[in-house]
Amino acid sequence: MPYLTSTRPGTACTDVRTGVGIPGLAHPLLAPTEWNGLTRPGTPLHWVVLNVADGPGVQPDPHCLEAAGRLRNAGIRVLGHLDIAYGLRSFGEVISDAHRFLDWYQVDGFLLDRCPADRVAFPEVRRTTGTLRVMHEDAHIVLGHGTHPCPEYMEHADQLVTFSGGWSDYRWSQVAEWTADHPPERFCHFVHGVPGPHLDEALRIARWQGAATIYFTDHTPSPHSGPWEPMPGYWDDIVSRIGTGVSE
């Protein structure tokens, strides 16, 4: 398979622990059990994205504030969801959303979703990430390209999402050669429609391609919800494979 032909040195035997980044769980009112379960001991979470209403919403949401506070009290990083819309949203709109996330939910950083990947858009993304770091010096910034961007983006984020899509594409995907110059903890993969029997194969691909933060789900996009909103049907199976224990 193509992912096995990568020349990335040492990835298959890295000591970096694979963990989960949750890119957009449903609102806490719609998924209270799922949000509560994220703080169970042994759950291998790197971070959880808070998406109130396609961003921070127009006013503070007490349910989201409680859910975010519970995660942060458990030592789990919470990221605000900022939709860049592939460069179509203005700088002012994005920064305004970031201010609301910080003021209302005390987030630890941001996922810049639908982030452009080309060199033309790079200066504006650099401007945005630089401003976010002025607003929050220790902000954890994830650029949600969903594909391999030009390498310059690497210097202005803590992590890049270099794959976001379906299982049929992921199992035959290949890694960009320049990623071999960076450790696995700098990369994330989000994959929907992964059948339960292929979960081990998906984890193997992530290891070979050098992505330490993953989110795999058996759900697929629907007209009414995205694939990331419900928890995977095999969530306990993921936890047992990459965590320190099975959630009960």
What string of DSSP letters covers 130-186?
A: HHHHHH-TT-EEEEE-SS---GGGGGG-SEEEEEEEEHHHHTT----GGGGGS-GGG
Query: CB-based burial of residue 120 (10 Å sphere; 0-12 exposed, 13-18 middle, 19+ buried)?
Result: exposed
Give yes or no for a contact between 192 and 217, defined as CB atoms under 8 angstroms apart. Answer: yes
Q: Residue 222: what pLDDT?
A: 87
For 238, residues 6+ apart whose C-beta sits below 8 A from its C-beta are 20, 199, 216, 232
Give yes or no for a contact between 43 and 19, defined as CB atoms under 8 angstroms apart. Answer: no
Task: Please tell me the distance from the alpha carbon of residue 158 to that of residue 143, in angstroms, as a whole number.
Answer: 8
The sign of the CA dihedral 38, 41, 42, 44 is positive
Contacts of residues 243-248 at CB distance under 8 Å and 24 or more positions apart, as own/partner, are 243/42, 243/43, 243/44, 244/41, 244/42, 244/44, 245/41, 245/42, 246/42, 247/37, 247/40, 247/42, 247/43, 248/40
* Per-10-residue mean pLDDT, the chain, length 248: 36 62 95 94 94 95 96 96 96 98 98 97 97 97 98 97 98 96 97 97 96 97 90 94 57
Q: Dihedral angle at the C-alpha atoms of 158, 162, 165, 171, nearest 10 degrees?
A: -130
Residue type, 78: V
Task: Please tell me the distance from the alpha carbon of residue 83 to that of residue 93, in angstroms, as a whole number.
Answer: 10
Of 212, 221, 188, 210, which Cα lies nearest the Cα of 49? 188
**pTM, full prediction:** 0.91
Of 89, 100, 92, which Cα lies nearest the Cα of 55? 100
Task: Please tell me the distance from the alpha carbon of residue 20 to that of residue 149, in angstroms, as a whole number.
Answer: 22
Query: CB-based burial of residue 57 (10 Å sphere; 0-12 exposed, 13-18 middle, 19+ buried)?
Result: middle
Q: Which two tokens mark 93?
A: 């709109």
